[in-house]
Structure 1
Amino acid sequence: MVNLPNPAPYQPSSDKALRARVKLFGHILGETLRDHADHQVFATVEALRKGYIHLQTKPNPTRRRRLRKLVEHLEEPILEQVVRAFNTYFSLANIAEESFKHHQRRKNSQAGLPRWEGSFDHTLLAFQESGHSPEDLQQLLHTIQYIPVFTSHPTETKHRNILETLQRIFVISEELNNSQLSKYERAQVINQLQASVQILWKTEEGRARKPSVEDEIHNGLYFFRTTLFKAIPLVYRHFEESIQRVYTGETEQPTLQVPSFLRFGSWIGGDRDGNPYVTPSITRRAIRLQARTALREYLRRAKELIQVLTHSDKWVTLHPAFLESLTHDQPVAQKAFARNLHLFRHEPYCRKLAIIRYRLRMNISLIEHSLSGNKGKPADHAYRSEAELLDDLYVIRDSLHSHGDGNIADGELKDLIRLVETFGMYLAHLDVREESSRHTSAVEDILRGLGIASAYQSLPEEQKLKVLSDQLTATQNSTWPESLSAETLRILEVFTVMTEMGREVSQHTFGSYVISMTHQASHVLEVVYLAKLAGLISYSSTGQWACRIRIVPLFETIEDLAHCEAILHTLFNHSIYRELLRCANNFQEVMLGYSDSCKDGGILASAWGLHDAQRKIISLAKSFGITCRLFHGRGGTVGRGGGPTHQAILAQPEGTVHGQIKFTEQGEVLSHKYSHVETAVYELTMGITGLLKASSHLIKGLSYDWNQAHDIMTTLAKSSEKSYRQLTEQTPGFFDYFYDVTPVRQLGQLNIGSRPTHRQTSESSKESIRAIPWVFGWGQIRHTLPAWYGIGSALEIWRSHDPARLGSLRALYRQWPFFRSLLSNTQMALAKADMNIASEYAQLCRNSQQGAMIYSLVKEEYERTVKQVLDIIGAETLLQEDLPLALSISRRNPYLEPLNHIQVTLLQRLRTSPENETPHAIWQSILLRSINAIAAGLRNTG
């Protein structure tokens, strides 16, 4: 292990521009409230804002009580608008912070200052200094693949109208960074901002109804249309420019080639686990809408290229392969140029691009036909695959290079090629996910109907594997009985949809079939059997296997993580599964769930269980000659695997990232990372460089001594899990406390996601509640305990006042990315907690004695964890090494505290007003707005 670099010193004065922008936004919002809201709204917001800012610098119990009384006496129309005002402020502050960070990075770059850690330049310079040759880097570039997977998990509280308005405000505010603006021009920009903030204020931020799955599909597509289609080519351009600067030299021809290694996945429309609204027909629609989105972008860019590549055949000598392609296109040209056969007759690239546009329109026509509910029909001259489209684009590129126009080929044409290489005809690989017990029930239903096994589910594991093996190697036609349950038919239809859409759109349409709650090897072979029945897997009489589905086990709970090695060992040893792996070039993807393991046993046990499981999985796969890609089911918060992507990738066990990484981007993370082109470019850059660093062992070998920390972390994890389970499973009244003091019961009415908050709607328990509302609820009431509870106790017990042990922990923090990332994320969660505010919520517990006892346990562990973390990192305050984040949180606290007090007041009012009376519905509506506002202020909420 080596010492990790400390962040560059942060100068408080350097955020002067940020403070000025936040102040400007606050001023514009204030004017909007004064002119377009009730006069009492503006007065109340100002009183609360100034009062809580004053309290942050100078505590005053009398002033605090006065501010609480102000809130408690507000009538509902004023209270509702006050909550909306604070929510709007947070949205504007978020824009200011994102813009400031972007311009700081650009300013430092222009001034020749060191690039930020995680930039392409910084990473490549480090590679060069480590002795990695251009050949080494090229080898690494040919192995990497970076795959964010978009999900619709319900933690995004803003609907698309709000996101679009905020995007306009971001774009307009960017103009203020132009130092050449005249006084008049600056005033005009501010007028535009005022108008946009005014629109934002008058736009309803909450959804009138719960979003359908199709709504969620459109919400996900929004980020591709508005930012990613622009950001992807920029990322590649920046990377190539950095390679030119660092490895090639400004005056030399580039020698390194950057392949298109970015791919995107999606669960939106394919994640059936716990969501009854994700039907097979919805999956079909998701695929078609994705395809249409990609094709429309290609069509638009091809049209623009017609206006760029206006070369005349009089002045250039075309490449023979290009001329051959035009000859091959004659049948299409007859249709494409039916109105004017001589169009672009002497402008060959324009003619080729017009043919490409015609063929893309045929593809879109086919998709539109299917989306309108008609059966698919052949479309003459439509592209049959992304490979055909790329061949047409490549032949233009190569011809341009052949006559000295390579620089032109590397412009807009290369950008389009990058997009097609990235998104294909399908946009994002759609993953399907289903819970294992559904497959087991379906298999039993089928086997019973076939007269093979009447009680399959009750069989021991070995017998299940034998029954499945016998059925898989049976060479008769795969059939299923007529008398199957409706649920079994739905399960089978999903596999049929995968076959259909693979033919209609692209063979690469689907990514993985993910089995959640994989507890045993038979859960995987059950999916193999169902896939064989649908024709995705076949076995010939000559013993040949064919497989067109990637089956991925998902290990989620602490127990499953501990058993995953044994389950995979059984699969890798299984003769049939081994043959299927050979069909997939001995490639296996394994998914790891961060959320349920954290909810199950606490953050430290979860993090270490995941870390240990990864090491074991990769080692096992290697021993079988299998290439394994890990799929990380990360959420937005620390309690669900969240945190900065760059650091998270580096924190993976060394040697487990083999050039590829796949991970979920959930809920509000999508809008945080991908709402603006500049932010999307930055986030993708940070992820890519993290992947390059974590994969560098492929060219330099491993350097980390694993055994050095194993015993310490294993002991800490067990101790932490014990503390966490004592609180969540053995403390009387704990779940009554959770449901009494959090607004989690209202989350289901917030209309932020189509999936229910509980697995069993009638059951209120740790097992039933999903990880998202679990974490979301604790975050709202400023406990944030899923992200830190148990860490303090574990560290204190292990240290046992031994200075040598403290020294060992400090060394781990300095030298080990995993431990450093763990404590950094813990600091962030502790900084966002507030035990004083938490105490107000604790008083909502119906059993006051139990509530006080549970709160005291939480507070004691909070204080213990703060002390232990600060001792180890050698700091006096939390986030001392990340002052920008510390300042951001401190800026938000005076606005969050009144919102929390408003929420407590609303929860109290709901308890005392009968549900069938009007006031109850009004308080409920305002409470939902307060949830939105607090989520916006805390940012990473779920």
Structure 2
Amino acid sequence: MIHDQRAEKFRQIVENKYQIYNSLFMSLPYDKMTNIGMLLPFLCEESKIGYEAGKTPEEIVEEFFKNHTDLKTEDQKLELLFKIIQYIERQVVLFDSIEDAAFPTLHSESDNGTIVNLYERSLQDHKLEKVREKLKDFTVKIVFTAHPTQFYPNSVQRIIHDLRNAITTDSITNIDMLLQQLGKTPFVNKEKPTPVDEALSIIYYLRYVYYDTIGELFTKIKSIFGNDHFHLHEDIIQLGFWPGGDRDGNPFVTADVTKRVAEELRSAILKAYYNNLKSVRRRLSFRGVSEVLGTLSNELYLSIFRNEKITTEDIVKRIDEAEKILITEHNALFVDLLKDFKDRVRIFGTHFATLDIRQDSRIHQKVIDEVFTTVFGDIEANDEEKFNTLIKASKKINIDDFEDIVKDTLLSVSQVTEIQQQNGLRGMNRYIISNSDAVKDVMNVYAFFKICGYKEEDIHMDIVPLFETMEGLANAENVMQELYQNPIYKEHLKRRGNQQTIMLGFSDGTKDGGYLKANWGIYNAKEVLTRLSEENGIKVVFFDGRGGPPARGGGKTHDFYASQGKTIANNKIELTIQGQTITSIFGNKEQAKYNFEQLLTAGIENDVFKNSKKDLTEKERELIMELAEISYNKYSDLKAHPMFVPYLQEMSTLEYYGKTNIGSRPSKRGNGNELKFEDLRAIPFVGSWSQLKQNVPGFFGFGYAMNEMKKQGRFENVKELYKGSDFFKTLVLNSMMSMNKTYFPLTYYIKNNPKFGAFWNVLFDEYTLSKDIMLELTGFKMLQEEDPLSRKSVKIRERIVLPLLSIQQYALMKIQKGEGSRESYGKLVTRSLFGNINASRNSA
């Protein structure tokens, strides 16, 4: 019933508004874009009918030219297609803004997973004290990464922000003006953004969304759950930051860049305080209080513009001084304003978000090898002997003796103390190691600190291994066991409060092992590492490297975390968000607050409200393991198919990802011209399947595995598993979300291709099988039946971008045939790719 009401509301306030504003949009006087609004519906219709009739994208676009235009030359046709792309990009922004503006109306304060809902539930079940107990040390941390899954230029971001507000108030005049501005503002970065550009792009969100969101949410939790004995800790919601610190595969991130980004973060939070203080001072104009706050304002100003040092303690001390006068001399008038401001200072410190350093273990090994040879000459030593010798030698090296990546890696370690002095210890406190698969990967980083002259007690950094491949996940137990027993590392952990963060990567896991195997591999690794850490007296925190789509660990995040039972440590929920996830799930105050609440309550619920569906029985565990193994073998066969990489290279947009200028990082590892599977980065890999509308990593092998069970007469067991396990149910629903965003008719033409036809059929057969068997499993009549809002949103978005996909495929076909200007068609692919990336904010 509630589903139906929401779906109807969505129709009224999203679909209908989009129709109205889109018609306004179509009549606007754009540069060279007049009459596009009239032509576009024809291309849309030709595409829809054409694909269902089995026509190729080339036939559809050529028929569109013939039936609806009088264009003759290739240049004229290309010009029109570019204009259509620009037009659709702006339609996407319009739809995003309307959907975002509708968010508060479509979601209520007491929805499942909200703070209010948690409070009501805890009262009903007499669990209020248990919830308070869990809140005492529980934390949710969102870590922003610069991975390029969607990046509008800053100028467009600001228009989107203003457009959303204008739509909320239904201000037709403002909407009209902003749509005109949108029509004339370029969407494409001429140059690749630098890591500093990426950092500033996200700092915009920190200042204008998260400063207020987290501040207000903290106050809300405090007022709902607080009492005389319970005080909420300020680290309950934390922000992490990778742009400018994530060196993995990004040669443009240097020690200088990291330092600059740390300064930008510090400056941004101090500016936020300075502005906040202005509004506080407007009310607290009383004798004594006014003077103290005036002094604080001046101190913040000098710190922002003259770089004079100020600490969190300095700011809090001034606020306390003002509060004391306010209470003793002015009846505590407006004291809540001051307390609210002090909470924010405690939450954000002088760092705003914690800047992480990340680099690949193979680069670290290169650094260690070179340093070892420089210090000790050509002595024969294995990897373990190298790090041990360097740690024990306690010999500070001269960084200037080295060059390139070796010098820069050591510089980034040596400047940690300086950043911590400026931004506080919360400003930078961990070093993440990609591709960790051995003890040496962690100990090498410890050795860096020693050779850069740090004393043991001055290493205020957590060293975080990242396990991401199937092999890495399987090996994680041995690595951590050995580490926990290593006397040097044991002492380091003791100094760090016996807490160890372990990062697990969904993106590369799925790319490597397929959807079901990767999810099960990570779940399993968490269980094993939880048990192992407890045995060693270590509090373990899991940090999930998750992307937006289910194929990269995304999807319904609340359901995912709420489905993890008591066998997995639940001290903190920590995950990465990037690109379209930043803008679509945490992009404005209402959405960000709602989704922070969803994560927070998922973690609390897991401990407080026991539920048999969260814990796997031995029988369920064995069945998931069996399904995961079957699906892994099926996916491995696909990866081993001789056409797998050539298909992506020739038929998809893979090689155009690097040309979109949406991220500073190269789109593949390695320098060779020949493309190898292991060099593929997870984002272009998943994104290319998404652009083809095939979303293979989100389902492939899953349906096959279930069908094998059915053949064995064991499908009832799978149905029981779906009904009895929240974890398995979440995997199924997320996979169905991936499939709902596929559209195989777009590439029907490939089945007749002599080189790739057979391979395409393998993909299509698995999709058909997976869809049919999942509908049978769930009893649904259609994919995503349980989530009508998301389903409707996807449907409208797919309709908007269908002409864009036709243009992209048309250009790819021209390139494959060697017809016309390769350069022009290549640009067409890249531009339509950019538009599709931005459109698929809830993409798979």
Q: TM-score, normalised by structure 1?
A: 0.84
1:36 deviates by 5.4
Partner of 2:687: 776
Task: Output one character per residue of 1:593-636: Cα deviation in whole Å (capped at 9) or x when no partner.
Answer: 11111111111111000000011111110011101111111112
Q: Does 2:678 match 1:759?
A: no
1:53 deviates by 6.9
Match of residue 300, structure 1, among 255, 259, 275: 275
1:12 deviates by 4.1
CA contact (8 A) 1:742 1:841 kept: no
Task: Output one character per residue of 1:127-166: Cα deviation in whole Å (capped at 9) or x when no partner.
Answer: 2333313x32222111111110111011114221111111
For the residue of structure 1 that corresponds to 2:756, the secondary structure is helix
Partner of 1:81: 83
Partner of 1:441: 366
How many percent of aligned residue pairs carry the same amino acid?
Answer: 22
Partner of 1:608: 520
1:894 deviates by 2.7
Match of residue 509, structure 2, among 597, 616, 620: 597
Partner of 1:128: 123
1:283 deviates by 0.6
**Distance between the aligned counterparts of 2:7 and 2:487, measured in 1?**
63
Judge which range, 594-603 or 464-473, deviates more. Answer: 464-473
Partner of 1:394: 320
Partner of 2:757: 852
CA contact (8 A) 1:588 1:629 kept: yes
For the residue of structure 2 that corresponds to 1:287, the secondary structure is helix
Partner of 2:215: 233
Match of residue 238, structure 2, among 242, 260, 263: 263
CA contact (8 A) 1:52 1:894 kept: no
Q: TM-score, normalised by structure 2?
A: 0.93
**Distance between the aligned counterparts of 2:40 and 2:103, measured in 1?**
28
Q: Does 2:15 match 1:13?
A: no
**Distance between the aligned counterparts of 1:623 and 1:779, measured in 2?**
43
1:532 deviates by 1.2
State the AA in 1 paired with 2:366: S
**Residue ranges of structure 1 left out of the alignment (5+ in a row):** 1-5, 110-114, 177-188, 245-252, 312-346, 368-378, 539-544
CA contact (8 A) 2:130 2:608 kept: no
Pair 399,614 (structure 1): closer, same or farther in 2 beyond 3 Å? farther
CA contact (8 A) 2:559 2:602 kept: yes
Partner of 2:579: 667
Q: Does 2:278 match 1:281?
A: no
1:701 deviates by 12
For the residue of structure 2 that corresponds to 1:426, the secondary structure is coil
Match of residue 650, structure 1, among 545, 562, 566: 562
Pair 855,64 (structure 1): closer, same or farther in 2 beyond 3 Å? closer
For the residue of structure 2 that corresponds to 1:767, the secondary structure is helix
CA contact (8 A) 1:40 1:78 kept: no
Pair 807,282 (structure 1): closer, same or farther in 2 beyond 3 Å? same
Partner of 2:631: 720
Match of residue 872, structure 1, among 760, 777, 789: 777
Partner of 1:332: none
1:276 deviates by 0.4
Partner of 2:197: 215
For the residue of structure 2 that corresponds to 1:307, the secondary structure is helix
CA contact (8 A) 1:72 1:905 kept: no
CA contact (8 A) 2:47 2:806 kept: no
For the residue of structure 1 that corresponds to 2:677, the secondary structure is coil
Q: Does 2:794 match 1:820?
A: no
For the residue of structure 1 that corresponds to 2:426, the secondary structure is coil
Pair 407,857 (structure 1): closer, same or farther in 2 beyond 3 Å? farther
Q: Does 2:62 match 1:69?
A: yes
Pair 484,807 (structure 1): closer, same or farther in 2 beyond 3 Å? same
For residues 135-154 of structure 1, what are the structure 2 equivalents within 5 Å? 135-154=129-148
For residues 554-703 of structure 1, what are the structure 2 equivalents within 5 Å? 554-696=466-608
Partner of 1:376: none
1:912 deviates by 4.8
Partner of 1:410: 336
**Distance between the aligned counterparts of 1:788 and 1:500, measured in 2?**
47
1:724 deviates by 0.6
**Residue ranges of structure 2 left out of the alignment (5+ in a row):** 72-76
Pair 150,537 (structure 1): closer, same or farther in 2 beyond 3 Å? farther
1:304 deviates by 2.2
CA contact (8 A) 2:131 2:604 kept: no
**Distance between the aligned counterparts of 1:791 and 1:505, measured in 2?**
47
CA contact (8 A) 1:440 1:526 kept: yes
Q: Does 2:391 match 1:472?
A: yes
CA contact (8 A) 2:288 2:322 kept: no
**Distance between the aligned counterparts of 2:331 and 2:384, measured in 1?**
61
Partner of 1:249: none
1:96 deviates by 1.7
1:767 deviates by 0.5
Q: Does 2:97 match 1:95?
A: yes
1:504 deviates by 3.2
Task: Output one character per residue of 1:452-505: Cα deviation in whole Å (capped at 9) or x when no partner.
Answer: 76344xx2xxxx43553354344x553368754543222211101212212233
**Distance between the aligned counterparts of 1:659 and 1:510, measured in 2?**
20
For residues 897-908 of structure 1, what are the structure 2 equivalents within 5 Å? 897-908=802-813
Partner of 1:743: 653
Partner of 1:349: 289
**Distance between the aligned counterparts of 2:4 and 2:38, measured in 1?**
40
State the AA in 2 paired with 1:310: S
CA contact (8 A) 1:273 1:435 kept: yes
Q: How many residues of Structure 1 are paired with residues of Structure 2 in the alignment? A: 832
**Distance between the aligned counterparts of 1:230 and 1:765, measured in 2?**
45
The Cα RMSD (Å) is 2.7
State the AA in 2 paired with 1:782: K
Pair 644,393 (structure 1): closer, same or farther in 2 beyond 3 Å? farther
State the AA in 2 paired with 1:738: L
Q: Does 2:29 match 1:47?
A: no
Pair 863,93 (structure 1): closer, same or farther in 2 beyond 3 Å? same
Q: Does 2:825 match 1:934?
A: no
For residues 414-563 of structure 1, what are the structure 2 equivalents within 5 Å? 414-451=339-376, 454-456=379-381, 459=382, 464-474=383-393, 477-479=395-397, 483-538=401-456, 546-563=458-475
CA contact (8 A) 1:654 1:702 kept: no
Q: Does 2:797 match 1:892?
A: yes
1:26 deviates by 1.4
CA contact (8 A) 1:303 1:354 kept: no
CA contact (8 A) 2:737 2:784 kept: yes
State the AA in 1 paired with 2:271: R
Match of residue 181, structure 2, among 180, 186, 199: 199
Task: Output one character per residue of 1:378-429: Cα deviation in whole Å (capped at 9) or x when no partner.
Answer: x4xx42x212222322343455455685572223x23322322222111111
Pair 842,223 (structure 1): closer, same or farther in 2 beyond 3 Å? farther
CA contact (8 A) 1:632 1:664 kept: yes
**Distance between the aligned counterparts of 1:859 and 1:806, measured in 2?**
23
Partner of 2:158: 164
**Distance between the aligned counterparts of 2:595 and 2:584, measured in 1?**
10
1:28 deviates by 1.6
Pair 638,913 (structure 1): closer, same or farther in 2 beyond 3 Å? same
Bigger CA radius of gyration: 1
Task: Output one character per residue of 1:667-715: Cα deviation in whole Å (capped at 9) or x when no partner.
Answer: 2211223332222222222222222223437x99997354242111111
CA contact (8 A) 2:565 2:615 kept: no
**Distance between the aligned counterparts of 1:873 and 1:838, measured in 2?**
28
Match of residue 206, structure 2, among 224, 241, 260: 224
Pair 561,63 (structure 1): closer, same or farther in 2 beyond 3 Å? closer
Pair 398,824 (structure 1): closer, same or farther in 2 beyond 3 Å? farther
**Distance between the aligned counterparts of 1:63 and 1:928, measured in 2?**
20
1:50 deviates by 5.1
